[in-house]
Structure 1
Amino acid sequence: MLNSHMDLDEFKKIYYMEWTHRLWGRFIGLSFLLPTAYFIARRRVSVPMAWNLVGISGLIGFQGFIGWWMVKSGLKDDLFAPGSHPRVSQYRLTAHLATAFVCYSWMLLAGLRILKTRSLLANPANAMKLVETLRHPAMIPFRRSVMALTALVFTTVLSGALVAGLDAGLIYNEFPRMGLGLTPPRSELWDKFYSRKEDGSDLWWRNMLENPSLVQLDHRILATTTFCYILALFVYARRGRVAAILPKDARKGVTGVVHLVCLQAALGISTLIYMVPIPLAAAHQAGALALLTGTLVLGQRLRVPQPTLRLIQKKLAAIPKQ
């Protein structure tokens, strides 16, 4: 029985979107699994890369399971009662998105490692100079800062999934204010309505994960923190010892991340003030993936994996000395 707020045409639209999504997911899975089986069977990849491919294939399958588990949460009878709004669990939606982003990141890093190894082996002498530069003591805190940024971006993405799962973007559609101030009233942020224990011991975390007002505020705080962090990282890369030794491609990577976070901030604010139109919301999600990509690429440019280093040293040793 259809919900009273949805006519047949609206149901068909949602149905075909879901059907297309499932079909596309299965196509992606097969387009990765079949070549993986072929390359491993024909021994066209190294053992470490074979394990990477098997792991990614397993994660793709797990992603399908998470998707089924998520959809299942929206099929409860009480969600179809008159006046109710059918939705999936925001927790399972977040898990589904997180798995997708982890899977993508794994693919990206595996591919980047192959490309970087090939590039470094083409000129092992220059590669060793890069290794020495990246071993400089000034690079250690900078590299850690980029790792922390990657974790911050991923956390912000997860908070955005909670916003989507709760339709929290449909309230307080202005920026930077939320109603009469920068934040909603304290009583609204820590509402006892969301607590399920008599002693209120779950009040804080249930509000953070289930209260749309606080969920949107958390996402704003994380997004603003990410924006300011990247601007600070840009300044960090342009001053002191880091600026003098930072490789050219890493310097470009920092600039690229600045551009991406500015675009993502503009998309986020636009999505909010225009009441979350689907095209803008989708662009905002794509912007999150682009920003995560930028941070991963930057991090990859700041390290040389040990297996690659050993190959470089082996190739240098094989070069006759004049």
Structure 2
Amino acid sequence: MLLRSVLGRIGPKFPSCRPLLANSRFNFSRNWSSLRSYSNFNAIKLDSNGFSRGFFSSTRPLNSSTASQEAIPSSIQPPKRLINSSKWVGYWLIGTSGLVFGIVVLGGLTRLTESGLSITEWRPVTGTLPPMSQEEWEEEFAKYKESPEFKQINSSIDLDEFKFIFFMEWIHRLWGRAIGAVFVLPAAYFALARKTSARVNRRLFGLAFLLGFQGFIGWWMVKSGLDQDDLDERKSKPTVSPYRLATHLGCAFLLYLGMIWTGLEVLREKNFVKDPAKALETFKTLDNPLLRPLRRMSLGILALTFCTTMSGALVAGLDAGWIYNTFPKMGENWIPPKRELMDANFAHKEDKSDLWWRNLLENPTTVQLNHRLFGIATFGAVFALHMYGVKKKHIVPKAADRTLKAMMGLVTLQVGLGITTLLWLVPIPLASAHQAGALAVFTSAILLAAQLRKPRIPMKLLINGLHMQELRKGGSKILAEAAKQPKLK
């Protein structure tokens, strides 16, 4: 709509623009150079809050001899719109993503210490405080004694041992509530104070919904380990459903991705506005066609890292790390026998039509093999991307080059942690470090993809306008200085 309104204004004065207005499928990026020649970017005005009076406030061409400094009457000026958000929004999102990183690691520890089923009720408000008296502790312990986990696994623990697993789960839930408060309250403030653009507001709304949904998924996951009927259907010991565990972790990773991606975008655009000349150099670098394969590979590695992590969640949910504690072989073979990988006992239907997918997702042997293959594929992809970046180092932005090197180091460390965790029978410190390493590799993949991403078109328009303003001011200063010089006789 913005493009059509602009072309509608300049169309009567410039007949050559009429075909652009008539073409409803006008390609903005492809016709960028032609559109720029018809637009007076010098008229862009940006205040300290990042507001702009539209992208165009004049219909005169840049090279017109009639171009002047006359202002457009306020009655026909477009309304204010926020093109980019405050830098504090970016800092806040990056900081909140750090809290999400922490809760992912804490959630892994809760799983490894088998503490996740210690609190048998979901009380979002009243559950904020732990038991405060001996009587309340006895009451909470009595509730746990009714759970399948206590009856079948932990029947010998006493109250002091129960307090440990209770506090592990309680801290995990409290941390989640804290993230909700740290995210929702500032988001509302930034939106009401008009420090966020409409684009960022939409993302914040989506992230807020995902954050609330994540709390529901957490309880849905815990409930699967407390319901004896569900356990009987899965033929499982008292533990949460691997599917729900993977869903819970996947939502946490997506929430982390949304926060850090949006935060990085806000900060990058603020840097563009701060130094338009340098921003134009960055635009030129990112527009290089030779960067396209690297950009696509970075997005592919981001997706591959996510899939590898989800396969790791299934390994954790099925305790698949406790079998085949050898590497690179699985036992005495490189690949276990087919009858073990495709065990008919995992099929639920009489015609065995679900044999393949149930073994892929529920058979501990097959799940561990899948995770090994995903891990090797991720390492190979990062290595290939790193070598391509080295070969094309002259065109890769410096920041992206540093991220590539960091990613190569992180994925190497992550592979080492995974192998060591397997060989040493999943000790808690190593297993927790392995999960944190997965998120670290994921972070580096996000950072690389964000650094290689082309800036959006409205930002290009804004930066070009600001740069032309700077050139215009510089030219005015030169003319003013020249006027002060004594005239030659």
Query: Counterpart of 2:434?
Result: 284
The answer as to 2:278 corresponding to 1:126 is yes
The 5-angstrom pairing of residues 23-102 of structure 1 reads: 23-77=174-228, 79=231, 85-102=237-254
Cα separation, 1, equivalents of 2:461 and 2:212? 34
Cα separation, 2, equivalents of 1:314 and 1:51? 26
In the superposition, the TM-score normalised over structure 1's length comes to 0.94
Counterpart among 376, 382, 386 of residue 234 in structure 1: 386
Counterpart among 420, 428, 439 of residue 270 in structure 1: 420
Aligned-pair CA distance for 1:293? 0.4
Cα separation, 2, equivalents of 1:226 and 1:258? 11
Aligned-pair CA distance for 1:116? 0.8
Change in CA separation of 1:120 and 1:42 when aligned onto 2, cut-off 3 Å: closer
Aligned-pair CA distance for 1:50? 1.8
Counterpart among 153, 161, 167 of residue 16 in structure 1: 167
In the superposition, the TM-score normalised over structure 2's length comes to 0.63
Change in CA separation of 1:22 and 1:133 when aligned onto 2, cut-off 3 Å: same
The answer as to 2:202 corresponding to 1:202 is no
- Give structure 1 regions of 4+ aligned residues with deviation exceeding 6 angstroms: none
The answer as to 2:472 corresponding to 1:298 is no
Counterpart among 293, 299, 306 of residue 141 in structure 1: 293
Q: Report the AA paired with residue 195 of structure 1.
A: A
Kindly indicate whether the alpha-carbon contact (under 8 Å) linking 2:287 and 2:454 is maintained by their aligned counterparts in 1.
no
Query: Counterpart of 1:217?
Result: 369
Aligned-pair CA distance for 1:5? 2.9
Counterpart among 268, 271, 275 of residue 116 in structure 1: 268
Q: Report the AA paired with residue 151 of structure 2.
A: N
Query: Counterpart of 1:3?
Result: 151
Aligned-pair CA distance for 1:318? 2.0
- Aligned pair count reads 318
Q: Which has the higher helix share?
A: 1
Aligned-pair CA distance for 1:319? 2.0
Counterpart among 304, 314, 336 of residue 152 in structure 1: 304
Structure 1: runs of 5+ lacking an equivalent: none
Aligned-pair CA distance for 1:243? 2.5
For residues 134-170 of structure 1, give each alpha carbon's deviation from its aligned partner in whole angstroms, at most 9, with x where no partner exists.
1111111111011111000000000000000000001
Aligned-pair CA distance for 1:197? 1.5
For residues 54-74 of structure 1, give each alpha carbon's deviation from its aligned partner in whole angstroms, at most 9, with x where no partner exists.
221111101001101111111
Aligned-pair CA distance for 1:42? 2.2
Counterpart among 383, 392, 397 of residue 247 in structure 1: 397
For residues 257-304 of structure 1, give each alpha carbon's deviation from its aligned partner in whole angstroms, at most 9, with x where no partner exists.
001101111111111111112221111111111100001101111123
For residues 74-118 of structure 1, give each alpha carbon's deviation from its aligned partner in whole angstroms, at most 9, with x where no partner exists.
1122549xx963111100000000000000110001110111112
For residues 206-264 of structure 1, give each alpha carbon's deviation from its aligned partner in whole angstroms, at most 9, with x where no partner exists.
0000000000000000001101111111111111xx33211111111110100110111
Counterpart among 345, 350, 355 of residue 193 in structure 1: 345
Structural RMSD (CA): 1.7
Q: Report the AA paired with residue 55 of structure 1.
A: G
Q: Report the AA paired with residue 190 of structure 1.
A: M
Change in CA separation of 1:284 and 1:319 when aligned onto 2, cut-off 3 Å: same
Cα separation, 2, equivalents of 1:131 and 1:54? 29
Q: Report the AA paired with residue 299 of structure 1.
A: A
Cα separation, 1, equivalents of 2:201 and 2:214? 20
Of all paired residues, the percent bearing the same amino acid is 49
Q: Per the alignment, in what secondary structure is the counterpart of residue 289 of structure 2? A: coil
Cα separation, 2, equivalents of 1:100 and 1:316? 40
